[in-house]
Structure 1
Amino acid sequence: MIHNDVLRRLRYALAINDTAAISIFKLVDYDMDIDYLHAIMKKEGEEGYLPCRDKIISLFLDGLIIKNRGKQEGSTPQVLEAGERLSNNDILRKIRIAMSYKDDDMIVVLKNANFRISKGELSAFFRKPDHRNFKPAGDQVVRNLLQGMVKKYRPDATRSANRKSSDKTNDRSKTVAKDKEGQKTNSVWGKVAKPSR
């Protein structure tokens, strides 16, 4: 899962606007440029899209930890060096700390997205990489955690999105026309003219 998606979904789940996002970066002494922020919020293929670097998503998550839990005396967020990578396990760990989630909380949030996981499976993601029970987290886990967070913190947005999707389906079905014999045509745009021979 690319970091742009993580940033975009996390901001949506927690309703973090541009001003709040920039203030979160300031908590870790990073001056986020608004144009760059907009560029990394775009989807791949959109004009002006730029990839979100590992350093940026790491700083944002560290800033979110400070915003939600306060700054720890004597500790400064570790800035990733060029070439250092932030794994899915690291992302899960930082979200867990920022949101003060315990194992049960994470299991419930994942369940919101219809993703079932046991405590044992979950704890394997938070082991040290050299631990025999360590397990690398896949994109699916991060994606479902963020989706579960949207359902937890923005239930109205989820319901309205489902309603819009349902309305579109109903609108499409209403536009299916019938031909002279009363048979439904295949086009959602109405009767398709027969090609001239």
Structure 2
Amino acid sequence: MNNNDRLVRLRYALDIKDSEMVEMFKLGDLEITKEEVQQLLTKVKSKQTQADEEGYSVNEYMKKCKNTVLEAFLNGLIVFKRGKKEAQPGEQTSKVEGMIKNDRSVNNVMLKKLKIALSLTSDDILGILDETGVHLSKSELSAVLRREGQRNYKECGDRYARNFLKGLALRYRND
């Protein structure tokens, strides 16, 4: 699963319109046009289909979504849903350092940021995953939500991320 797939699935699950996506990117400190958003979401017809490690076909898009672009969207989603964080007295406002260090940490960061943006508890996340038939223990979820480099950190695989986004769609589109 690439970043474009994550963006498309997230957009569908939360029923986000193009204009709202442009606003979220802006809130995440990335200026992007509606046309560029549509390019990020539009698949290119390819003659040869590849498969990822789990057997799913790898999709190609008009414009590749880099880790920094996805993270800007997720940061904007948090601000869009929860509001701008107020600076504490005496605290300097500085540009937030990116949490996505490499392609392996994308799913973990996405899960953490969605948890914040949608005000989900760990039980909510476990419930969303249960709805899709994926059963995870609280300690396994805790390991996925840890910061990379911590002792009990566990990488979140595409299967969990894919099913979590599917569960979000079930929960938010059926309301």
Band of TM-score, shorter chain: 0.7 to 0.9
Question: How many angstroms does 1:48 deviate by?
Answer: 6.4
Question: How many angstroms does 1:28 deviate by?
Answer: 2.5
With the length of structure 1 as denominator, give the TM-score of the two structures.
0.71
* 1: CA distance, partners of 2:2 / 2:167: 18
Of 106, 113, 120, 1:87 maps to 106
Using a 3 Å threshold, how does the CA distance of structure 1 residues 131 and 29 change in structure 2: closer, same or farther? closer
Of 126, 138, 141, 1:122 maps to 141
Percent of aligned positions that are identical = 37
Residue segments in structure 1 that go unaligned for 5+ positions in a row: 157-197
**1:65 maps to amino acid:** I
- The residue aligned with 2:25 is 25
* 1: CA distance, partners of 2:27 / 2:157: 29
2:69 aligns to what SS in structure 1?
A: helix
Cα RMSD of the aligned pairs, angstroms, is 2.3
1:56 aligns to what SS in structure 2?
A: helix
* 1: CA distance, partners of 2:97 / 2:10: 20
Question: How many angstroms does 1:77 deviate by?
Answer: 5.7
**2:3 maps to amino acid:** H
**1:67 maps to amino acid:** F
Residue segments in structure 2 that go unaligned for 5+ positions in a row: 47-59, 88-92
1:42-191 superposed matches below 5 A: 42-43=42-43, 45=45, 49-74=62-87, 75=93, 78=96, 80=98, 84-85=101-102, 87-155=106-174
Residue deviations 1:90-123, cap 9 Å, x none? Answer: 1111111111111100001111211111101100
With the length of structure 2 as denominator, give the TM-score of the two structures.
0.79
